[in-house]
Structure 1
Amino acid sequence: MTNTNVAWENYSKQKPERRLTNAAGERTWFNWTQYADHGPGAEVLAITPGANVLALGCGKGGNIAHVAALGARAVGVDVSRAQLSAAEERWNGSGVALHHADALRFLTESSEQFDAIYSVFGAVWFTDPGDLLPVVHRRLRPGGVLAFSQRPAIEGCYGCQASYINRSEGEDPLVVKRWDYEPERWLAILHDHGFTTDTARVLAAPPGPRKVGTLVITAHRSG
């Protein structure tokens, strides 16, 4: 299996910059899906001013910058230094706290409590839930929100799967692990780790030739 740091640094070169404004003319916005101007926004996280919010795999910082704009204390973690450098350059002065770290290590070593933790095609998808969910649970305040999005599982391909990151022509793709489950299975996994689940659904792709929807799950820490 490919070194994950190498894989995500390579991925950062392929990831386009976020537009300067969205379709509504807003400078910051929250997007859970792989499609522009589609799907729910930050209301999923029920953010209030002063809330402590953590992004697991914050990438180039677009979503976490919007969290900061809503008046929350916004913390982003990413394993890719290139992604974080892009986030620091664009969102300097926005109040976002960025950390270069593996999500699992950050959660294990941190003593902070968060009101919301989220992952948009991020660390929840690419970390064994048996390892990640217990430490997410510890870092969330009682009643705190865990929300994440990723591509839906391919029928019949569940659990740990290989995810490929393309490189230049003539080079083999890089391979990282991801964890795919149907919504009902995610409900059970979350429940087993002390979460109550509000929603677990596949949001259909917007009209057009696109076929793949987005799995969006929202849960709360119980107790």
Structure 2
Amino acid sequence: MTETKAWDTYSEQKPQRRTVNAAGETTWFNWTQYPDHGPGAEVLGIRTGAAVLDLGCGKGGNLAHAAALGARAVGVDISMAQIKAAGARWPDASMTLHRTEATRFLEESGEHFDAVFSVFGAVWFTDPAALLPAIRRRLRPGGVLAFSQRPPIEGCYGCQASYINRSEDEDPLVVKRWDYEPDRWVELLTEHGFTAPTARVLPAPPGPRKVGTLLARAFG
């Protein structure tokens, strides 16, 4: 239950999504940690009626955009606080939300999906040896898996500790994350049966920011 508490805490700390983006749109897709930066939903190739799954959907902004594009949008998050926030923020969006762990959902669900995505979500915080084969089994032939996260710190690869701060008089909560360089993600995706895998680091936008965003994509 430590992970659930950690992500509930994170939900309370993360600011609310803007009501519109720089283009004046009320829903949009953002793979990076920077607003109005990087590619959008075209990475997933969403078609009307496609079944789309967000692993670690958080407050549901990217999933709401998938729904606006006509997808059957399904979101999974381990935090009930995040699920409630998503439902409150997007009451009119056609989204189905599940409060559960990503691998458990994939193993227990009978659904299959045309696209699975994770934006700084469950793919970063779940052992790929367990999660990738579970995704592969639920991805329809030719379907897309895409995910983004921070690039690894040089020399720090594999399972790492990630800290979520609480109040000043409390120790931070710790969750695990899995950091790999792009070439290693390509190898892992290939090993678990995905085809045409790619992974790259998108540079940060101009300005003082220096940390890019790792974006990976593969097909079922």
The TM-score range, normalised by the shorter chain, is over 0.9
Q: CA deviation at 1:198?
A: 4.1
Name the counterpart of 2:182: 183
- The count of corresponding residues between Structure 1 and Structure 2 is 220
CA distance, structure 2, for counterparts of residue 198 and residue 179 of structure 1: 18
- Aligned pairs (5 A) from 1:1-223: 3-221=2-220
CA contact (8 A) 1:190 1:197 kept: no
Q: TM-score, normalised by structure 1?
A: 0.97
- What SS does structure 2 have at the residue aligned with 1:106? helix
CA distance in structure 1 between the aligned counterparts of 2:7 and 2:125, rounded to whole angstroms = 11
Distance 1:19 1:192 in 2: 39
Structure 2: distance between partners of 1:132 and 1:94: 27
Contact (CA 8 Å) 2:107, 2:134: kept in 1 or not? Answer: yes
Does the residue aligned with 2:188 lie in a helix, a strand or coil?
A: helix
Q: One-letter code of the match for 1:137?
A: R
3-state DSSP class of the match of 1:27?
A: coil
| Matched residue type, 1:16 | P
Alignment gaps of 5+ in structure 1: none
Question: Contact 1:113–1:140 (CA<8 Å) still a contact in 2?
Answer: yes
Letter of the 1:135 partner, please give it.
A
Q: Deviations over 1:111-153 (max 9, x none)?
A: 1010000000000000000000111000000111000000001
Using the TM superposition, give the Cα deviation of residue 199 of structure 1 relative to its aligned residue in structure 2, in angstroms: 2.5
CA distance in 2, matches of 1:110, 1:208: 44
User: Is contact 2:201–2:214 with CA below 8 Å preserved after alignment?
Assistant: yes
Amino acid at match of 1:18: R
Over the aligned positions, Cα root-mean-square deviation in angstroms equals 0.8
Contact 2:190-2:197 within 8 A present in 1 as well: no
Q: Following superposition, which runs of at least 4 residues in structure 1 exceed 4 angstroms of deviation? A: none
* Contact map agreement 2:189 2:197 (CA 8 A) in 1: no
Report the alpha carbon displacement of residue 171 of structure 1 after superposing the two structures with TM.
Answer: 1.2
What's the % identity of the aligned pairs? Answer: 72
The more displaced of 80-89 and 20-29 is: 80-89
Q: Supply the AA of the counterpart residue of 2:55.
A: L
AA aligned to 2:114 is D
- 1:51-80 per-residue CA deviation (whole Å, 9 max, x = no partner) reads 000000000010000000000100000011
Specify every segment of 5 or more residues in structure 2 that has no aligned partner in the other structure, as ranges: none
TM-score, scaled relative to structure 2: 0.98
Deviation at 1:197, TM superposition (A): 3.3
Give the Cα–Cα distance (whole angstroms) in 2 for the partners of residues 61 and 182 of structure 1: 27
Contact between 1:159 and 1:180, CA under 8 Å: does it hold in 2? yes
CA contact (8 A) 2:60 2:90 kept: yes
